[in-house]
Chain A
């Protein structure tokens, strides 16, 4: 390499570099950072090299760093002279021949194109590739890149990090040249100060002020250090920056050395980054050869050299004083400040330490000036910051955004939202030193101060997205486990305090924690934060403190109910399906019993876990499907349909009678306690069944003439035939539950009466009152609420239905109303204000409704109902909406447009949600929440009145059958505990011996779906619309279960 000693030799190198970047023949550059290599870029490179060689093609092949979109690796840049640079994604070796064919014939291969770049602003220089290729989006049009501003990453993935001339070609080392020519170090410091550049390592101290300290320090020897000891789990910004663009770092440091009066610079890089170390070493070597390091740099008489030191991988060595000790050859333990490194640093000499990314910002500030720099970002924190966006988002990768960008932009716009449609719960920023920010606070701008206020930190830029499958207690435990093992052990709070914090968190995640543990942990965490010696200890409790603050209910779940909703804490959940089931059915058990051909025992297992298995087998929302581990192989086991099959196989058979007697015989001896259940819906039935099995005398009151509640009076027959429900109620009745029908509480029997007659009362009336939307025209004839409509149909009462029906809503009641109206001969349109994926209704139901001829209009908000002179509905008008910003539920807010759509109709069914009957709640004399729901203790379901418990829709608002039954079951358990004062819940349940090994060969069959009756045929009748699984299919489904409930060892 030629030594650069003046402007003309500088320009020679520059020309050489440009001819590599923009050659007069095709250039193929493979993204070969650690991320790309990990995704197979090495073999892609060799495939290109071999093919170009054997085919004798006149093409250039190069290695670049990473362009940042990790989820789309391996990335390949393709350049044809005069055309835009095209970035291909997910390139595999077998794609190579096709790409080369295209290039050889002068065509741009577009099949795998991610985006194109027509021109690129390297900040220090500008490159024009070419224009054209309208079919390929510009890079900034790709959602992942939208809003990103690449200052730090200006060269990453576009130049070859191993070739100094490519760096010089895009304006590299010009900032250094300018600084040396200007010969005014104070001016540079002023510029850095005016740019308000803040340390990118996390603490955010003003870089210019730090530089000034060192410049003013009087010493023969001064050091500058680059801290590249990036050790946070989930953070890899610095690694990629160094791997992709080492010279920008070197240039920043030479400028720093010159300005601060240091002649030696040290790069402290963690040894676990071998590729970064290698590229940086070779870049230093090249810089030396070119005369950019060493004596007489650029012929200006300045001497400076760089040395790379590999850190041994202790997280604490990211702390500057520990890093200095490590460089001195001592154990990496921090020392107290003062003295600060600027006065007493490496070997006692004044020393400056900056993070990798801080150095990357230097050349742009020098070239463009502080005014340009402060245009980006927020007033207090100008510029950009690189984040590694990882975890449960669709698009993962390195994201460089202006500081102050709201968190939701990262998660939803850039990240593309949650994976597998799961709800995002939190973002963890700053790694083990940071905190968890809950989804409700995603409006928070990402800058030093805002994150600090929430108890988190920006840190070096790790951003881990968590969804409902992450347990926040476990997250806190994980990070404490990390900092606990990385603590240097010097000071007591961090050394012993974290050990004890870990003890409490382990206990809580094992379900053994107490409320006293929670308080001790809280107090201890504050003490560690406030008294530790260095940043590691001071920030280590942040994950605990923030999760305690923002996710307290999860801690309470673990402590008070030994429950981990996310199903992460192994000791607290049998399997993901069991954990997600509101009734906590032992699903793996009934699947295994069925597989072992023990149908009758499977039936007992199912009924004891869920006394309405045939009904729920038809209409349950099946949360188990989303959690099934088989999803990782193909798709979930069809658990709901298997228990429907088991129930359907037994109920009509001659074995039912004997089994029902067996179950009734399991009832515990009479306790002499009397319980009343108000409401014979699924919640009440579940509660009554278990209370009865526990030996209590149970009376169920209901205002209707038969049991079943919504199952009977709101669910149409085609979903749940009434004879199925009758058999289930029959089984419950046989255990000894008694009913008083046609009796309304409190009209016919007052709560005081119940109080006098019973030892415990469970309230479980449903949400029978339809929410009303305030829409002009709802007073017109032909506007009817969904629930009364469905109830009337189920009671075979006449309903005033016209020929053209419009249903407003997107929940199950809307779909049920639509399908019922279809069966009554109407033409049906459903209007829903959001997108299909946001509909609360069961997706299969929505599809079935469409197949039967219902039309669904998405993204339309009803505006008014238009009436005719007769006072009847004539039409409905809706405002077309478009998707706006993400709201606090993580769904995009529908924003009104100017477009009005009109649907002619004569009936409007309102299905926008149900609420509790406020009159009942008020009359009950119980404490009511603002929403009108009854207030209960979340864990015991006790109301404000002793003896009285409540569950189901009364406390949650409209929900679904299995949720409601879950409350009934839980209430029975708590009522029994209160009445008997001992734990005897488990005694009711039979135990089963069954195989406890994962299947050697799980069935490879795809999921068996329930068979639907032909749409045209079923749409005309109320007969059941689906046919349950055939015996052989149910068995096959059972064989698909992977038995993730099986534990090895002692468990």
Chain B
């Protein structure tokens, strides 16, 4: 039985189990902390930096997804500075690739678009990069369009940690980072891919999508994956290749 601890989130006293992350504890108490690279059931990598929070007595900002709760901790999830920084992070993502919401398969269901709306991003102050990035249509059922990729690595993790297929990886570095399939071959030639579709459902944007869907049609379901991952962790399900 994990130890019970108490902490404050935005002033509210919360009792929760030790070992949890601040993000999970906040979510369980209906406190909203924005996040893009986090997905329940997958390991946390602290990459998107949207879930940064202020912790009293700590000089720097901490990512809520990888910082464990501690007894007596006092967390602030909303402040002018946090709002400003989160907005910058979102704007940087929009400026990095070619996100054209109007013609995107995930328009209306996209987590990036949704967060921008929620955090009041009306425009991107930074110059757009307009990189030329690959679009992979070789898989019979799915598409990977890197114009819409935010490098959250959820597909990488779900494929490695839940499906165990290790199809996806991120190659290169800095702004040259690209999602690659296996050793940089086209998805259609992949030998590991089980076509389970977990990456499709995990992808927060329209970067990985299912063929046959048009603009504004592709809504994603991450909950079944999270449930499956939780079951896996508990050891009660070990059948690979579950198709969602």
Contact = CB atoms under 8 A, between A and B. Distances in A.
B89 A492 contact: yes
Given A496-B92, A520-B126, A531 B174 contact: no
Contacts of B49: 491-493, 531-533
Contacts of B81: 530
A492 B93 contact: yes
A1011 interface: no
A484 B174 contact: yes
Given A331-B170, A530-B61, A495 B52 contact: no
A433 to B, nearest CB: 15
B129 interface: yes
B213 interface: no
Contact of B85 (A316, A485, A496, A527): A527
A489 B177 CA distance: 6
Nearest to B66: A336
A335 B95 contact: no
A706 to B, nearest CB: 57
A-B complex: 5 closest residue pairs judged by Cβ atoms: A489-B177, A336-B46, A496-B92, A487-B174, A336-B66
Given A489-B173, A492-B93, A520 B63 contact: no
B22 interface: no
Given A493-B89, A532-B49, A487 B127 contact: no
Contacts of B85: 527, 530-531
Interface string A517-539: 00010011001001111000010
Contacts of A484: 174-175
User: Chain A interface: which size bin?
Assistant: 20 to 34
Contact of B174 (A493, A498, A524, A530): A498
A336 B127 contact: no
B194 to A, nearest CB: 23
A500 B129 CA distance: 9
A498 B95 CA distance: 12
A527 B176 contact: no
A497 B48 CA distance: 12
A338 B95 contact: no
Nearest to B63: A336
B125 A520 contact: yes
A interface majority secondary structure: helix
B210 interface: no
Interface string A466-505: 0000000000000000001111111111011111100100
Contacts, number: 101
A490 B46 CA distance: 9
B46 A489 contact: no
Interface in B17-36: none
Interface string A718-761: 00000000000000000000000000000000000000000000
A314 interface: yes
B60 A530 contact: yes
Contact of B45 (A335, A486, A520, A523): A335
B188 interface: no
A462 to B, nearest CB: 22
Contacts of B52: 530-531
Nearest to A502: B175
B163 interface: no
Nearest to A338: B68
Interface in A1-47: none
Contact of A495 (B44, B126, B177): B177
B176 to A, nearest CB: 7
B92 A500 contact: yes
A491 B174 contact: no
Contact of A486 (B84, B171, B172, B174): B174
Nearest to A531: B49
B200 to A, nearest CB: 23
Contacts of B153: 490
A1027 B175 CA distance: 62
Contacts of A491: 46-49
Interface string A329-347: 0010001101000000000
A520 B125 CA distance: 8
Contact of B47 (A338, A485, A490, A499): A490
A500 B67 CA distance: 28
B185 to A, nearest CB: 18
17 contacts: A316-B173, A336-B63, A484-B175, A485-B174, A487-B174, A489-B151, A489-B172, A489-B175, A490-B45, A496-B93, A500-B127, A503-B127, A527-B84, A531-B89, A533-B46, A533-B63, A538-B60
A311 to B, nearest CB: 14
Contacts of B67: 338
B88 interface: yes
Contacts of A503: 126-127
B17 to A, nearest CB: 17
A159 to B, nearest CB: 40
Contacts of B96: 495-496, 499
Contact of B88 (A486, A498, A527, A533): A527
A499 B175 contact: yes
B89 A500 contact: no
Most buried by B among A314, A490, A523: A490
A276 B153 CA distance: 37
Interface string B105-129: 0000000000000000000011101
Contacts of A488: 173-174, 177
B94 to A, nearest CB: 10
A524 B125 CA distance: 11
B44 to A, nearest CB: 8
A489 B125 contact: no
A495 B127 contact: no
Contact of A527 (B47, B89, B93): B89
B79 to A, nearest CB: 12
A499 B46 contact: no
A492 B47 contact: yes
A486 B88 CA distance: 21
A532 B89 CA distance: 10
Contacts of A531: 49, 52, 61, 85, 89
B97 to A, nearest CB: 9
User: Which among B67, B127, B171 has the highest number of chain A CB atoms within 10 Å?
Assistant: B127
A531 B127 CA distance: 21
B61 A533 contact: no
Greatest chain B CB density within 10 A among A527, A531, A538 is at A531
A402 to B, nearest CB: 28
Contacts of A524: 88, 126
Nearest to A520: B125
A53 B57 CA distance: 70
Given A489-B174, A492-B49, 16 more contacts: A335-B45, A335-B46, A336-B44, A338-B66, A487-B173, A489-B173, A490-B45, A490-B47, A491-B46, A491-B47, A493-B89, A498-B174, A503-B127, A527-B89, A531-B49, A533-B47
A499 B48 contact: no
A1035 to B, nearest CB: 50
Nearest to A334: B46
Given A331-B170, A489-B170, A531-B61, A496 B45 contact: no
Contacts of A331: 170-171
Nearest to A503: B127
Contacts of A538: 60
Interface string B220-236: 00000000000000000
Interface in B120-141: 125-127, 129
A822 B89 CA distance: 72
A524 B91 CA distance: 11
B224 to A, nearest CB: 27
Contacts of B60: 530, 538
A323 to B, nearest CB: 15
B88 A495 contact: no
A495 B174 contact: yes
Given A336-B66, A520-B126, A530-B85, A493 B92 contact: yes
B237 to A, nearest CB: 24
Nearest to A500: B126
